[in-house]
């Protein structure tokens, strides 16, 4: 029997409360400070900075930091310096939700860059919108995240799942593939992707042979490859992340089937060292890119000045891609960078930090925004549509050229051609 | 009356007014907290409360019962999902969800505890790790039920049709925390809690005081899982969104860390731990990279330098400085004597009959065709050289080992191969060659454990502190105190057993055995490691025990005591009986002199 | 055929892990829960040596082996040694998990989060047997694993060191009395386990890619294989590992992807319950749990 227990219980509780209280003391003052310091605008970002999807999370953070540094050096947004608060959610939706609540309640953020993981966005999106925080999703693809009725303050500057799915299916259909197989992992991402692909197939009148799933991060992907082979596939529409995709491609090469098919993946497939991981099969791998990148006449991808300038800045600040240096992809950094500038532009156009005013600007005056470093050149926001990009803006690009160059909007991207 | 005996150490009694004041202040503080804290801190406090319920629950099995499982997160998640599905898909009220959570987590605990029935240590860790992974896969892949990795949204939390605001959520969860603490308090401050600790400390000694180890392991896991399930259901309803990723290995490690930091096997420990584990990450917002490394380092360092955690350390310190003053004011107890343990004289004359007892380990026959008859009310010694099979014989008599052949009859009943916890109830108590005390309990608790077979109050009684519980506990502790007095250790009642000398520890084991009120007491080398004074003292105690009618079966090498107090002696060598008779007969037996005593008779 | 080779190749890695887990377990009775992390470290270090310092395969492997040995020894010193009686104090389960967390996160900080390509042996040459394409690398995986297994078995059975290991495994205190330094033997076993870990890591890395999460899914299967074959039994480790690999390889064609991993855990749990000594031990678990313990 523990005789001193009550005492210790008490002591614990006291300690705990002291700790919590001491924390409280701090917060009670914070809101006042923020209100008074009119010279500050607080932008929040929650994303995975540890764990398997840390690259995405870190890339967005780097992009945002780069933009904020520049903006602050030039006097901030309408004279207010930007303060950037970030939290690591480890890609865990529940942690993400807690972190978002913390940023909103304690840090009093005025704008948030959405989490890269769709599940995390879904978990916290209600709270963000209840509190009238402008939220820009720069990476998350899940369809349901954007809904101007339900989430009036959430905008997306990236290709959502249905847009990508539609583009993938149409490309495959036009190329005349017969045995199309859908491929996705068992995570929320894969489920959403396969659902979007199936919907797009139905809309386009294409009947896929099979939908194959696998477990993300599995050591051995040959069973997946065998399934693909036995389905007699000539085209895979793949909702796979880079590492998994590379593993599957190399497994397909192993069993000697890669030559018989075309691997068409959504944008998550891009990985700077895809060729090294996947081997020669990469020559038959394609992904999607914004139509700006492709020169209509020659099929060559040209990097315009704005994007080239940004790429140079990224290399200058975060280093070249490679082991021991930067491991983040430029387009993700760019999307974080763009989100900040988009917000800056909207606030300045509205002449106010008020969320409703900013929202209205984004919905009505978006054609005036000329920061051309995003996934497309034109953003298509309107009161009914909070998606910046539509299916028309996408083209297939040979993955190899994009990936190995470390310039997703780089100068050597070549539009792929399909051979059957 | 000596309230301290069942409730607190004397230091605590001294300052009880302060403690009560502290409780009131704390309660008040928690009650007004939402009014002074912002939304964020209120949420922070809610999460802390939920984790407290979770880790207090986990501590019951891992801390008290020593069942180190790694499936806490899976059980928490299963509880959360069970209640979420009940509430959302089946459209049932919140409490039905909570019930469902308890049922599901209870079932999962059975899948862990049924193997735990047999195995322990790393096997248990591996099984629970497997369960963690399997539950995780089910949450991810059974999409029609759990909505898969995308997560599960719940409707706003409502109880009895009233939708809760953030404020009311705080109070509801605080209420459940209080319930959980009271529940755990009632449980661990009863013989149940002590039994769990006993199972953790020493399964053999636990069986020796009548504990069915397997039953208590199953119960500990069941209770603990259901409590975690309750935490899970609260979490689901509070959060209104749950996803499988939350309930992974990382959470298990966090819960483990909470319990380790705070102090496993203590009631307040987990609460301490939760606070520390929740606060630490706050310092690492800027560099999340380091956070997990710090957690890993804490696991390694704390396990080694602070094995009892914060609470354990405080407790130890208190026991060390406890002056035991209150014990002297025990009140007017009648003077104690061994008469209290007098055994009535019915039953057969030969209280213990061992016939043809054989134990083989592989090809080695440790004990072969042994016949021993012990007469009631005698001191019967079993002697023989090292490795002669004495302890094996005694182990077979007390049920710790099973004979290959032969039978053991005790008091006219065949008890061959009977589990030790059952033979205790028939009146066989024993001590061990290497002292087996319950090191996480005080001296007085150790003795009181001997009387645990006489408790009759139920688990519900324990939790609600029923009058029956209070009466029985008081009786048991007064009796244990009497036993301590008989062996002269009453002034050490509140100490840790490890602080006693080797001789005192041996005496303590005898006191514990005495507290079982046995008909037969088996002493395995009671004099080993004792000095001459202590041996003399012990032989007086053994005589006193014999004088009240308790039969003593003793293994001993100490010849003066064997010859001095034995009525009969059986000599065995190489597992076979080579002589038997009174001390006088045996000491002149040529076979004995040759095989055991050697050519010269040793003096000691 | 193809499936069989995949199964054997993966299985040989499970077997190597089970073997290393068994080495540690045989002398100390503990299960090294941080083993998968050491395997990962072995692979990452040799990758790092090859890519950053441009070393060739063999020197990189040797450095990785040395690092893994050092890691394992440090781990023993920091996490296990001070705990005293490892049968009664199960604190090692906690400390080893702590070590595993530290290793994983250090690897993430040092080597980054992106998976990296790791070269195959023989530059990924393939041979075709029937309708199956088989990488020479895979054949090497199986061969190397079996060679290591045989060498270990011979060392244990035939040499003085092996006898010492068996003595320590049987009863450390008695071995100590016989002039065997238990601690030294245990340390050597940890070191050997580290070396085997590094080899396993380097062999599996081309297939899983080198990243700090590379052993996430195979780590637990090493334990499953060890349980299946019986702890501390080289033959058992191989039978456990290879059969697990083959079962997985054949079964994964027929069942949904998500459930595949659960299969090995279900097998593991069933084996623990019904055959705690592993499939090789015909000994049915003694129903009386105390018999093995000295009273």
pLDDT digits (tens, 9 = 90+) for A215-225: 887 777 888 88
Length of chain C (residues):
295
Residue C288 belongs to some domain of the structure: no
d(CA A184, CA A187): 8
What is the count of residue pairs from B and C with beta carbons less than 8 Å apart? 136
Q: Residue A134's pLDDT is what?
A: 92
Report CA A192 to chain centroid distance, whole Å: 14
Q: Mean pLDDT across the stretch A306-326?
A: 77
CA-to-CA separations, B429 to A42, B300, B394, B439, in angstroms, rounded? 72, 40, 11, 19
Q: Residue B12's pLDDT is what?
A: 62
Q: Cβ–Cβ of A5/B140 closer than 8 Å?
A: no
C268: which chain B residues are within 8 Å (Cβ-Cβ)? 126-127, 130
Longest dimension (CA), chain B: 90
Which of A238-242, A291-295, B278-282 has the weakest average pLDDT? A291-295
Closest CA to A265 of A173, A165, A122: A165
For B204, the closest of C256, C262, C290 (CB atoms) is: C290
Residues 277-296 of B with CB under 8 A from C: 289, 292-293, 295-296
The sign one gets for the Cα dihedral B559, B560, B563, B569 is negative
**Confidence check: pLDDT of A377 > 80:** no
d(CA B560, CA B604): 6
Chains in contact with C, where contact means 3 or more Cβ–Cβ distances below 8 Å, are A, B
For A186, the closest of B141, B269, B311 (CB atoms) is: B141
- Cβ proximity of B483 and B333 under 8 Å: no
Q: Cβ–Cβ of A50/B267 closer than 8 Å?
A: no
Q: Rounded to a whole number, what is the distance in Å from the CA of A75 to chain C's nearest CA?
A: 34
CA-to-CA separations, A307 to A293, A296, A302, A334, A407, in angstroms, rounded? 10, 18, 10, 9, 10
Q: Residue A395's pLDDT is what?
A: 62
d(CA B75, CA B346): 53
Q: Residue B107's pLDDT is what?
A: 93
Q: Cβ–Cβ of B304/C95 closer than 8 Å?
A: yes
Given pLDDT bands bounded at 50, 70 and 90, which one contains residue B325? Answer: low
Q: Cβ–Cβ of C114/A220 closer than 8 Å?
A: no
Q: Is A277 on the interface with C (CB under 8 A)?
A: yes
Note the CATH number of domain B346-427+518-604.
3.40.50.300
Q: Which of the two residues, B46 and B118, has the higher pLDDT score?
A: B46
For A220, the closest of C114, C135, C207 (CB atoms) is: C207
Q: Rounded to a whole number, what is the distance in Å from the CA of A415 to chain B's nearest CA?
A: 34
C214: which chain A residues are within 8 Å (Cβ-Cβ)? 219
Q: Cβ–Cβ of C101/B296 closer than 8 Å?
A: yes
- Cβ proximity of B258 and B274 under 8 Å: yes
Q: Is B31 on the interface with A (CB under 8 A)?
A: no
Residue C285 belongs to some domain of the structure: no
Q: Residue A369's pLDDT is what?
A: 83
Residue burial A116-147, b: 16+ Cβ < 10 Å; e: rest: bbbbbbbbbbbbbbebebbbbbbbbbbbebbe
d(CA B50, CA B56): 10
Q: Cβ–Cβ of A119/B150 closer than 8 Å?
A: yes
Q: Tell how strand A394-398 and strand A285-290 pair up.
A: antiparallel
**Confidence check: pLDDT of C55 > 50:** yes
Q: Which two three-digit tokens encode residue B592?
A: 């004995």
Q: Is A49 on the interface with B (CB under 8 A)?
A: yes
Closest CA to A115 of A53, A68, A197: A53
For B115, the closest of C97, C269, C295 (CB atoms) is: C269
**Confidence check: pLDDT of B105 > 90:** yes
Q: Tell how strand B576-581 and strand B364-375 pair up.
A: unpaired
B494: which chain A residues are within 8 Å (Cβ-Cβ)? 3
Closest CA to B277 of B308, B304, B242, B253: B253
Q: Residue A1's pLDDT is what?
A: 38
**Confidence check: pLDDT of B242 > 70:** yes
Q: Cβ–Cβ of A20/B37 closer than 8 Å?
A: yes
C209: which chain A residues are within 8 Å (Cβ-Cβ)? 243, 246-247, 277
Q: Which residues, at least 6 apart from B517, have a Cβ–Cβ distance to it below 8 Å?
A: B341, B343, B427, B451, B454
Closest CA to B283 of C105, A231, A19: A19
- CATH code, C152: 1.10.3470
Q: Rounded to a whole number, what is the distance in Å from the CA of B469 to chain C's nearest CA?
A: 32
Q: Mean pLDDT across the stretch B351-378?
A: 84
For A9, the closest of B9, B141, B271 (CB atoms) is: B271
Q: Is A319 on the interface with C (CB under 8 A)?
A: no
Residue C213 belongs to some domain of the structure: yes
C216: which chain A residues are within 8 Å (Cβ-Cβ)? 217
Q: Mean pLDDT across the stretch B107-124?
A: 76
Given pLDDT bands bounded at 50, 70 and 90, which one contains residue A4? Answer: very low
pLDDT above 70 coverage of chain C, percent: 90
**Confidence check: pLDDT of A268 > 50:** yes
Length of chain A (residues):
420
Q: Mean pLDDT across the stretch A224-252?
A: 86
Q: Tell how strand B379-383 and strand B551-555 pair up.
A: parallel
Residues 266-285 of A with CB under 8 A from B: none
Q: Write down all domains in chain A, each with its CATH number in brackets.
A: 26-160+328-392 (3.40.50.2300), 162-301+394-404 (3.40.50.2300)
pLDDT above 90 coverage of chain C, percent: 17
d(CA A192, CA A257): 27
Q: Cβ–Cβ of B243/A123 closer than 8 Å?
A: yes
pLDDT digits (tens, 9 = 90+) for B263-309: 888 888 888 889 888 887 777 766 667 778 888 888 888 888 888 88
pLDDT digits (tens, 9 = 90+) for B373-388: 888 888 998 888 877 7
Q: Helix, strand, or coil here: C30? A: coil
pLDDT digits (tens, 9 = 90+) for B169-197: 899 999 999 999 999 988 988 888 889 98
Q: Is B186 left (phi over 0), alpha (psi -120 to 50) or beta?
A: alpha
Residues 69-108 of C with CB under 8 A from B: 78-79, 82-83, 87, 89-91, 93-95, 97-102, 104-106, 108
A161: which chain B residues are within 8 Å (Cβ-Cβ)? none
Q: Which two three-digit tokens encode residue B395?
A: 């182990």
C115: which chain A residues are within 8 Å (Cβ-Cβ)? 242-243, 246, 277
- Provide the H-helix boundaries in B89-211: 94-116, 122-141, 143-146, 166-188, 191-201, 203-208
Q: Mean pLDDT across the stretch B400-427?
A: 86
Q: Residue A31's pLDDT is what?
A: 40
Task: Give the residue on A whose Cα is nearest the Cα of C204.
Answer: A219
Residues 178-217 of A with CB under 8 A from C: 185-186, 213-215, 217
Q: Residue B180's pLDDT is what?
A: 93
**Confidence check: pLDDT of B603 > 60:** no
Residue C280 belongs to some domain of the structure: no
Task: Give the residue on B whose Cα is nearest the Cα of C79.
Answer: B300
B29: which chain A residues are within 8 Å (Cβ-Cβ)? 17
For C289, the closest of B118, B122, B303 (CB atoms) is: B118
Q: Cβ–Cβ of A4/B8 closer than 8 Å?
A: yes
Q: Residue A15's pLDDT is what?
A: 55
ipTM computed for the complex: 0.84
Beta bridge partners of A262: A235
Q: Residue C191's pLDDT is what?
A: 92
Q: Is C261 on the interface with B (CB under 8 A)?
A: yes
The angle formed by the CA atoms of residues B306, B308 and B309, to the nearest 5 degrees, is 65
Q: Tell how strand A134-137 and strand A154-156 pair up.
A: parallel
Q: Mean pLDDT across the stretch A127-147?
A: 89
Task: Give the residue on C whose Cα is nearest the Cα of B112.
Answer: C269
First vs last Cα of chain C: how many Å apart? 53
Length of chain B (residues):
604
pLDDT digits (tens, 9 = 90+) for C83-122: 877 777 778 888 898 999 899 888 888 887 777 888 887 7
Q: Is C110 on the interface with B (CB under 8 A)?
A: no
**Which range has highest mean pLDDT (B21-30, B543-552, C65-74, C202-211)?**
C65-74
- Cβ proximity of A389 and A375 under 8 Å: yes
Mean pLDDT across chain C? 81
Q: Residue C44's pLDDT is what?
A: 92
**Confidence check: pLDDT of A374 > 80:** no
Q: Cβ–Cβ of B118/C273 closer than 8 Å?
A: yes
Q: Residue C273's pLDDT is what?
A: 76
Q: Rounded to a whole number, what is the distance in Å from the CA of B174 to chain A's nearest CA?
A: 13
Closest CA to A264 of A188, A335, A175: A175
Chains in contact with B, where contact means 3 or more Cβ–Cβ distances below 8 Å, are A, C
Q: Is A218 on the interface with B (CB under 8 A)?
A: no
Q: Cβ–Cβ of A3/B442 closer than 8 Å?
A: yes
- Cβ proximity of A17 and B29 under 8 Å: yes
Best C257, C258, C264 residue to mutate vs chain A (most A CBs within 10 Å): C257
For A215, the closest of C2, C253, C257 (CB atoms) is: C257
Mean pLDDT across chain B? 83
Q: How many domains does chain C have?
A: 1
User: Cα-Cα-Cα-Cα dihedral of B374, B380, B385, B391, to 10°?
Assistant: 60
- Cβ proximity of C69 and B271 under 8 Å: no
Q: Which two three-digit tokens encode residue C34?
A: 């941080």
Domain residue limits at C98: 2-274
Q: Is A320 on the interface with C (CB under 8 A)?
A: no
What is the count of residue pairs from A and B with beta carbons less than 8 Å apart? 187
Q: Cβ–Cβ of C220/B133 closer than 8 Å?
A: yes
- Cβ proximity of B463 and B189 under 8 Å: no
Q: Helix, strand, or coil here: A151? A: coil
Q: Which helix (H) or strand (E) holds B365?
A: strand B364-375
d(CA B157, CA B240): 7
First vs last Cα of chain A: how many Å apart? 78
d(CA B332, CA B317): 31
Residue C287 belongs to some domain of the structure: no
Q: Tell how strand B241-242 and strand B428-430 pair up.
A: unpaired
pLDDT above 90 coverage of chain A, percent: 14
**Confidence check: pLDDT of A206 > 80:** yes
Q: Mean pLDDT across the stretch B411-421?
A: 85
Q: Rounded to a whole number, what is the distance in Å from the CA of C33 to chain B's nearest CA?
A: 9
């Amino acid at each position: 029997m523990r005789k001193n227990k009550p005492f210790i219980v008490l002591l614990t509780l006291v300690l705990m409360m002291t700790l919590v209280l001491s924390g409280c003391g701090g917060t009670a003052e914070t809101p006042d400070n923020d209100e008074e310091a009119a010279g500050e605008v607080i932008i929040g970002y929650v994303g995975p900075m540890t764990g398997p999807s840390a690259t995405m999370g870190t890339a967005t953070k780097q992009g945002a930091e780069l933009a904020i540094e520049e903006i602050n050096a030039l006097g901030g947004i309408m004279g207010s310096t930007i303060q950037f608060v970030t939290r690591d959610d480890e890609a865990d939706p529940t942690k993400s939700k807690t972190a978002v609540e913390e940023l909103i309640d304690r840090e009093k953020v005025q704008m948030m860059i959405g989490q890269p993981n769709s599940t995390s966005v879904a978990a916290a999106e209600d709270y963000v919108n209840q509190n009238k925080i402008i939220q820009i999703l720069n990476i998350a693809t899940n369809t349901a995240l954007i809904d101007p009725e339900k989430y009036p303050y959430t905008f997306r500057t990236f290709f959502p799942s249905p847009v990508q799915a539609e583009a993938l299916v149409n490309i495959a259909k036009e190329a005349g593939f017969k045995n199309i197989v859908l491929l996705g992992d068992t995570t929320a991402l894969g489920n959403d992707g396969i659902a979007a692909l199936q919907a797009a197939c139905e809309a386009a009148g294409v009947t896929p042979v099979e939908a194959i799933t696998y477990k993300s991060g599995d050591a051995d992907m040959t069973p997946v490859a065998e399934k693909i082979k036995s389905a007699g596939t000539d085209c895979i529409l793949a909702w796979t992340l880079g590492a998994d995709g590379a593993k599957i491609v190399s497994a397909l090469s192993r069993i000697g089937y890669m030559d018989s098919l075309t691997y068409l993946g959504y944008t998550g497939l891009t990985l700077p060292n895809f060729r090294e991981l996947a081997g020669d099969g990469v020559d038959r791998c394609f992904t999607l890119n914004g139509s700006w990148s492709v020169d209509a006449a020659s099929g060559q991808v040209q990097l315009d000045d704005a994007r080239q300038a940004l790429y140079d800045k990224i290399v200058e600040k975060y280093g070249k891609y490679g082991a021991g240096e930067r491991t983040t992809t430029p387009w993700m950094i760019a999307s974080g960078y763009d989100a900040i500038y988009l917000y800056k532009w909207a606030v300045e156009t509205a002449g106010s930090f008020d969320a409703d005013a900013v929202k209205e600007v984004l919905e009505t005056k978006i054609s005036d925004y000329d920061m051309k470093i995003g996934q497309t050149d034109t953003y298509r926001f309107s009161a009914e549509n909070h998606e910046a990009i539509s299916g028309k803006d996408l083209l297939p690009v040979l993955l190899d050229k994009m990936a190995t160059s470390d310039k997703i909007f780089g100068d050597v991207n070549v539009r792929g051609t399909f051979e059957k | 009356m000596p309230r301290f005996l069942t409730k607190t150490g004397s230091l605590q009694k001294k300052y009880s007014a302060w403690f009560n004041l502290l409780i009131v202040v704390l309660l008040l503080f928690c009650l007004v907290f939402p009014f002074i804290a912002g939304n964020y801190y209120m949420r922070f406090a809610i999460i802390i409360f939920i984790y407290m319920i979770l880790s207090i629950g986990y501590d019951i099995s891992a801390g008290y019962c020593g069942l180190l499982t790694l499936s806490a997160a899976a059980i928490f998640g299963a509880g959360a999902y069970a209640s979420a599905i009940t509430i959302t898909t089946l459209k049932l009220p919140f409490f039905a969800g909570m019930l469902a959570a308890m049922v599901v987590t209870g079932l999962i605990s059975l899948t862990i505890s049924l193997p735990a029935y047999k195995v322990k240590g790393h096997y248990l860790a591996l099984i629970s790790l497997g369960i963690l992974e399997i539950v995780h896969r089910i949450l991810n892949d059974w999409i029609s039920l759990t909505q898969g990795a995308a997560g599960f949204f719940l409707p706003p939390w409502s109880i009895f049709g009233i939708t809760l605001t953030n404020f009311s959520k705080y109070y509801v969860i605080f209420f459940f925390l209080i319930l959980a603490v009271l529940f755990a308090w009632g449980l661990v401050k009863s013989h149940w809690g002590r039994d769990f600790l006993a199972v953790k400390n020493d399964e053999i000694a636990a069986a020796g005081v009548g504990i069915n180890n397997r039953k208590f392991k199953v119960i500990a896991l069941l209770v603990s899982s259901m409590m975690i399930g309750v935490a899970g259901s609260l979490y689901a309803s509070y959060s209104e969104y749950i996803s499988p990723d939350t309930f992974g290995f990382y959470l298990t490690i966090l819960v483990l860390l909470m319990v380790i930091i705070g102090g496993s096997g203590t009631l307040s420990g987990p609460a301490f731990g939760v606070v520390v584990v929740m606060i630490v990450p706050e310092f690492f917002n800027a560099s999340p990279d380091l956070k997990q490394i710090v957690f890993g380092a804490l696991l390694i360092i704390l396990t080694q330098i602070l094995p009892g955690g914060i609470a354990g350390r405080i407790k130890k310190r208190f026991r060390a400085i406890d002056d035991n003053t209150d014990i002297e004011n025990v009140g007017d107890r009648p003077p104690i004597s061994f008469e209290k343990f007098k055994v009535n004289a019915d039953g057969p004359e030969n209280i213990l009959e061992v016939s043809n007892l054989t134990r083989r380990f592989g090809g080695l026959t440790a004990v072969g065709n042994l016949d021993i008859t012990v007469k009631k009310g005698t001191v019967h010694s079993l002697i023989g050289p090292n490795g002669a099979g004495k302890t094996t014989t005694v182990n077979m008599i007390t049920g710790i080992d099973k004979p290959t052949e032969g039978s053991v009859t005790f008091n006219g009943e065949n008890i061959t191969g009977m589990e030790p916890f059952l033979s205790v109830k028939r009146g066989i108590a024993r001590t061990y060659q290497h002292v087996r005390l319950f090191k996480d309990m005080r001296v007085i608790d150790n003795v009181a454990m001997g009387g645990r077979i006489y408790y009759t109050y139920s688990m519900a009684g324990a939790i609600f502190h029923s009058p029956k519980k209070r009466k029985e506990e008081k009786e048991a502790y007064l009796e244990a105190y009497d036993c301590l007095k008989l062996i002269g250790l009453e002034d050490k009642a509140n100490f840790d057993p490890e602080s006693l000398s080797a001789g005192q520890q041996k005496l303590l084991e005898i006191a514990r055995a005495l507290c079982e009120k046995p008909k037969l007491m088996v002493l395995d080398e009671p004099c080993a490691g004792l000095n001459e004074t202590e041996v003399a003292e012990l032989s007086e105690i053994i005589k006193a025990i014999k004088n009240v009618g308790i039969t003593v079966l003793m293994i001993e090498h100490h010849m003066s005591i064997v010859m001095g107090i034995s009525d009969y002696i059986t000599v065995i060598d190489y597992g076979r009986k080579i002589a038997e008779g009174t001390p006088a007969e045996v000491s002149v037996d040529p076979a004995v002199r040759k095989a055991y005593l050697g050519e010269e008779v040793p003096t000691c | 055929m193809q499936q069989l080779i995949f199964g054997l190749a993966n299985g040989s890695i499970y077997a190597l892990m089970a073997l290393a887990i068994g080495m540690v377990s045989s002398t100390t009775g503990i299960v090294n829960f941080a083993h998968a992390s050491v395997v990962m470290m072995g692979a990452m270090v040799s990758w790092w040596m090859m890519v950053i310092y441009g070393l060739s395969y063999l020197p990189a492997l040797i450095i990785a082996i040395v690092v893994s040995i050092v890691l394992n020894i440090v781990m023993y010193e920091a996490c296990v040694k001070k705990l005293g009686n490892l049968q009664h104090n199960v604190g090692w389960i906690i400390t080893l998990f702590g070590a595993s967390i530290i290793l994983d996160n250090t690897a993430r900080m040092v080597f980054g989060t992106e998976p990296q390509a790791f070269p195959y042996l023989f530059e990924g040459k393939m041979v075709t047997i029937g309708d199956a394409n088989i990488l020479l690398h895979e054949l090497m995986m199986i061969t190397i694993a079996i060679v290591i297994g045989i060498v270990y078995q011979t060392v244990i059975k035939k040499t003085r060191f092996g006898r010492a290991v068996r003595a320590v495994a049987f009863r450390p205190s008695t071995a100590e009395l016989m002039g065997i330094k238990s601690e030294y033997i245990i340390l050597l076993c940890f070191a050997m386990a580290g070396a085997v870990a590094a080899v396993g890591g380097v062999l599996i890395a081309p297939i899983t890619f080198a990243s700090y999460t590379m052993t996430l899914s195979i780590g637990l299967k090493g334990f499953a294989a060890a349980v299946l074959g019986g702890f501390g039994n080289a033959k058992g480790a191989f039978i456990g590992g290879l059969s697990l690999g083959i079962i997985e390889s054949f079964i994964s064609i027929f069942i949904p992807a998500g459930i595949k991993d659960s299969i090995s855990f279900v097998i593991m749990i069933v084996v623990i319950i019904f055959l705690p000594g592993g499939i090789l031990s015909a000994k049915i678990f003694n129903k009386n749990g105390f018999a093995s313990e000295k009273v």
